[in-house]
Amino acid sequence: MSALWTSDEVRAALSPISITAPFEASGVTFDSRAVGKGDIFFALSGESTDGHGFVADALARGAAAAVVSRDVAGAKGTLVHVPDTMKALVDLGHAARVRSRARIASVTGSVGKTSTKDALRAMLSVQAPTSASVASYNNHVGVPISLARLPREARYGVFEIGMNHPGEIEPLARQVAAHVGVVTNVGPVHIGHMGSEEAIADEKSCLFAGMADGAVAVLNRDNRHFARLAEKARGFGVSRIVSFGRDEAADARLVSSNLQDSGSDLVALIQGRRIEYRLGAAGEHWALNSVGALAVVEALGADIVQGAAALAEVKASPGRGARRVLTFGAGTIELLDESYNGNPVSMRAMLAVLSRTVPQAGGRRMLALGDMRELGEASDALHADLAEAVAASGATQVFLCGPHMEALWQRLAPAQRGVHRPDSASLAGEFAAALRAGDVVAVKGSLGTKMKIVVDAIVAASGGEAGR
């Protein structure tokens, strides 16, 4: 495989002030903690850190070169001097996109972005070399980094695009210039910054800005904003709208679903073609998004049967629904880790999964929830509105943290109330101490609520992964 970047290609892409020595690079990063041998390290300046302070260490760890905007004392290695390192990163991403002959998909949505992107990577990578955003690299830094990592040999690329404020998606979409774009859904996520669901829908529709000729928009027909999104997509020049969902008019339709706690057996009609497949991740939301992902695969021109077969191996990732069986006392517990994010849509989806997960003998369904952030003036009402879904989940006890979860606490049946604490740090120990062998344990909240602290406390109280 050829180098990802040569110094001559970097020179052509960035028009740098100087490059101190020739090099070949195999990767691109801005995170000094993740620098690998052969990486180009971009010294970006953030609100609290300046990457120039880590240049010397990055080079010492084997970076092929560091892109800098000022001199760095003690740096022993190749330096690429540019006026603005962030602009240089965007420029390198642009050069990667221009040289690529890959078919490109972009993904956004209020929930399900990362899981849909992961499903697409799985379905496409079994067919041809595929590059995709890692983790949740979906912002003004993550998107150009992901583009800059796009190998010239790739035949497919999948890029996640996110937002939490107006005006963030369009410039990123124009960088990606996708052939196919999918909006998984629109819901009241980040509504505190956006003002209304209609404003969120309009922002999500900006995914279709700057798309390649013959572009295809894949939209959730079950979502009440479908028509609005379709109109906006056409306004950006999209030539074909493909719908997915349970709606009988959907081009990619989920016909039947046998939902289990370990996954689902699904039947879908994709442009009239019947596809039966196994999905390795649990939940109705995963099932619907998998149908949307199959619609993207079809629109990209890839094989949907081969792609669907790959979905059996797709699992939820840590913090996003991953399941872990931990030894606990004389038995085990099953942990559903959704600590990475929380919003009204994904909360209900998780609670539905919990309701289908059966505890072992003597066990219970135990629930720890943290605040959902960025919901604005409707926050307390949206938290309180979860009460019915919590009751339907069959949770025996519910442990809550954060000021907005007080509204849900007041709506819970007295028998369900565990404790309510101000933050996850004060909740974690009490929740872990309340568990017993046989329990099914679910943990969820917005990233800023730091519910991973609760997950870590549960793991610390256990005997580790069962069967090891």
Which pLDDT score, from 0 to 100, does residue 48 have?
81
Q: Are 324 and 335 in contact (CB under 8 A)?
A: yes
CATH code of the domain in which 39 resides: 3.40.1390.10
Mark whether 229 and 254 lie in a shared domain.
yes
* Each residue's pLDDT tens digit, 23-52: 999 999 999 889 999 999 999 988 788 999
Residue 147 lies in a domain: yes
C-alpha span between 252 and 435 (Å, rounded): 42
The predicted model gives 406-417 an average pLDDT of 96
CATH code of the domain in which 146 resides: 3.40.1190.10
Looking from the CA of 90 toward its CB, the CA atoms found within 13 Å total: 12
Mark whether 135 and 264 lie in a shared domain.
yes
The domain tally of the chain equals 3
Which tokens go with 411?
């709506």
Mark whether 377 and 288 lie in a shared domain.
no
Residue 190 pLDDT exceeds 90: no
The predicted model gives 132-149 an average pLDDT of 93
Residue 129 lies in a domain: yes
Domain end: 313, 343, 360, which one?
Answer: 313
Mark whether 419 and 389 lie in a shared domain.
yes
Residue 36 lies in a domain: yes
Q: Under DSSP, is residue 180 helix (H, G, I), strand (E, B) or coil?
A: strand
Name the one residue in this structure whose structure tokens are 């995963």. Answer: 286
Q: Under DSSP, is residue 264 helix (H, G, I), strand (E, B) or coil?
A: strand
Residue 431 lies in a domain: yes
Sign of CA dihedral 189, 194, 200, 206: negative
Mark whether 71 and 118 lie in a shared domain.
no
Domain end: 263, 293, 313, which one?
Answer: 313
DSSP state of 279: E
266: left (phi over 0), alpha (psi -120 to 50) or beta: beta
% of the chain with per-residue pLDDT over 90? 85
Residue 54 pLDDT exceeds 90: yes
Mark whether 74 and 126 lie in a shared domain.
no
Mark whether 361 and 307 lie in a shared domain.
no
Q: Are 382 and 375 in contact (CB under 8 A)?
A: yes
* Each residue's pLDDT tens digit, 63-101: 999 999 998 988 999 999 999 999 999 999 999 999 999
Helix boundaries (H) for 112-235: 113-125, 142-148, 169-176, 191-194, 197-205, 226-235
Mark whether 253 and 365 lie in a shared domain.
no
Mark whether 289 and 418 lie in a shared domain.
no
Residue 226 lies in a domain: yes
Mark whether 39 and 124 lie in a shared domain.
no
* Each residue's pLDDT tens digit, 434-454: 999 999 999 999 999 999 999
C-alpha span between 430 and 346 (Å, rounded): 25
Domain end: 53, 84, 115, which one?
Answer: 84
Residue 195 pLDDT exceeds 80: no
Residue 466 lies in a domain: no
Which pLDDT score, from 0 to 100, does residue 165 have?
83
Helix boundaries (H) for 150-225: 169-176, 191-194, 197-205
Q: Are 431 and 420 in contact (CB under 8 A)?
A: no
* Each residue's pLDDT tens digit, 208-250: 999 988 999 999 999 999 999 999 999 999 989 999 999 999 9
Amino acid letter, residue 405: M
Which pLDDT score, from 0 to 100, does residue 1 have?
65
C-alpha span between 5 and 358 (Å, rounded): 51
Which pLDDT score, from 0 to 100, does residue 332 have?
96
Which pLDDT score, from 0 to 100, does residue 422 have?
97
Mark whether 358 and 393 lie in a shared domain.
yes
CATH code of the domain in which 453 resides: 3.90.190.20
Mark whether 326 and 307 lie in a shared domain.
no
Residue 372 lies in a domain: yes
Domain that holds residue 170: 100-313
Among 362, 368, 360, 430, smallest CA distance to 395 is for 368
**Which has the higher per-residue pLDDT, 374 or 149?**
149
Residue 369 pLDDT exceeds 70: yes
Which pLDDT score, from 0 to 100, does residue 10 have?
98
Residue 141 pLDDT exceeds 60: yes
Residue 94 lies in a domain: no
Q: Show Cβ contacts of residue 261 under 8 Å, excluding neighbours closer than 6 positions.
A: 282, 353, 356, 357, 358
Question: Lowest mean pLDDT: which of 4-8, 272-276, 456-460, 464-468?
Answer: 464-468
Mean pLDDT across the chain: 94
